[in-house]
């Protein structure tokens, strides 16, 4: 019963979203996008829990998986296959079953992404206000646009949508974390391999205090980059151009 109820709700949500997309592209950007993403991510879990407790959450997840495949199959059939698709190419390398299983294994990460998004919306603004950190236009990071790419249908469209949302969300989270790390902990790690790996997400790590230095080194590195006269941005932030 719970599974059928959530599945039906997802179908209705899909139709509602389709109509909204037809009216305006504004829903493809945060903050409006967050509301629509919620219809397909955490709201079904809450509904499932309300209906059948822990079993309801499991039923909601199953309903989401079924709705995912239902959408992909219907969309691909309605649009018609025109030429090769990414799904075909990936299936050729991995095998169609292995490829689909690999994609399904990735989906539980949505729990983490929803948590990160809640942190960006509700926690970071408080940190930014207290710590005088830069704030961001979330719509420039968290948005969807790949639905306009020619030829994306079915699984290609849905998974590219998922990656579209997830990549922007993750990039925004990394940007926020750069401000936090550079302001409160600008000290390199003793593990050189960790420094190399972290430099991908923290490009200014080479300017942090050396790992074999003293607290005075850390203080001087901090004072070199923060004077209290502007936002406390990470050391490679666009507002620091010309330093």
101's CB contacts (< 8 A; 6+ apart) are none
| Average pLDDT value for residue range 41-58 | 91
> What was the pLDDT predicted at 152?
85
Give the model confidence (pLDDT) of 102-120 as tens digits.
988 888 899 999 999 999 9
pLDDT of residue 219 exceeding 90, the answer is: yes
pLDDT of residue 77 exceeding 80, the answer is: no
User: In Å, how far are 75, 154, 161, 211 from 78, measured between CA atoms?
Assistant: 5, 9, 18, 59
pLDDT of residue 225 exceeding 80, the answer is: yes
Domain extent listing, the chain: 2-179, 185-240
**Range of lowest pLDDT (16-20, 61-65, 142-146, 160-164):** 16-20
User: In Å, how far are 4, 70, 139 from 50, measured between CA atoms?
Assistant: 14, 25, 31
31 preceded by cis ω (within 30°)? yes
pLDDT of residue 80 exceeding 80, the answer is: no
| Average pLDDT value for residue range 148-157 | 85
Best-predicted range by mean pLDDT (20-24, 79-83, 181-185): 181-185
Average pLDDT over the chain, rounded to whole? 91
Q: Quick one: pLDDT band at residue 95, thresholds 50, 70, 90? A: very high
> What was the pLDDT predicted at 19?
80
Would you say 119 and 173 are in contact if contact means Cβ atoms under 8 Å apart?
Answer: yes
Q: Where are the beta strands (DSSP E) in the chain?
A: none
> What was the pLDDT predicted at 242?
67
pLDDT of residue 81 exceeding 70, the answer is: no
User: In Å, how far are 5, 24, 39, 49, 72 from 45, measured between CA atoms?
Assistant: 12, 28, 10, 6, 21
d(CA 44, CA 53): 12
> What was the pLDDT predicted at 155?
85
| Average pLDDT value for residue range 196-219 | 96
| Average pLDDT value for residue range 45-70 | 90
């Amino acid at each position: 019963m719970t599974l059928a109820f959530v599945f039906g709700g997802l179908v209705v949500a899909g139709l509602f979203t389709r109509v909204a997309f037809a009216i305006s592209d504004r829903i493809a950007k945060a903050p409006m996008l967050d509301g629509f993403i919620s219809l397909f991510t955490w709201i079904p879990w809450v509904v499932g829990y309300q209906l059948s407790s822990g079993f309801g959450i499991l039923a909601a997840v199953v309903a989401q998986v079924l709705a995912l495949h239902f959408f992909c199959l219907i969309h691909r059939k309605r649009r018609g296959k025109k030429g090769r698709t990414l799904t075909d190419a990936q299936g050729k390398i991995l095998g169609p079953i292995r490829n689909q299983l690999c994609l399904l294994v990735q989906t539980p990460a949505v729990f983490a992404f929803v948590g990160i998004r809640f942190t960006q919306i509700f926690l970071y603004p408080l940190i930014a206000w207290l710590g005088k950190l830069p704030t961001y236009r979330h719509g420039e990071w968290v948005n969807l646009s790949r639905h306009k790419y020619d030829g994306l249908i079915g699984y290609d469209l849905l998974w590219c949508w998922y990656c579209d949302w997830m990549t922007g969300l993750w990039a925004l989270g990394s940007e926020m974390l750069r401000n936090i790390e550079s302001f409160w902990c600008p000290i390199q790690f003793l593990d050189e391999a960790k420094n190399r790996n972290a430099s991908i997400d923290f490009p200014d790590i080479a300017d942090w205090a050396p790992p074999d230095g003293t607290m005075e080194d850390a203080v001087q590195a901090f004072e070199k980059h923060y004077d209290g006269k502007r936002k406390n941005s990470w050391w490679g932030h666009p507002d620091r151009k010309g330093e």
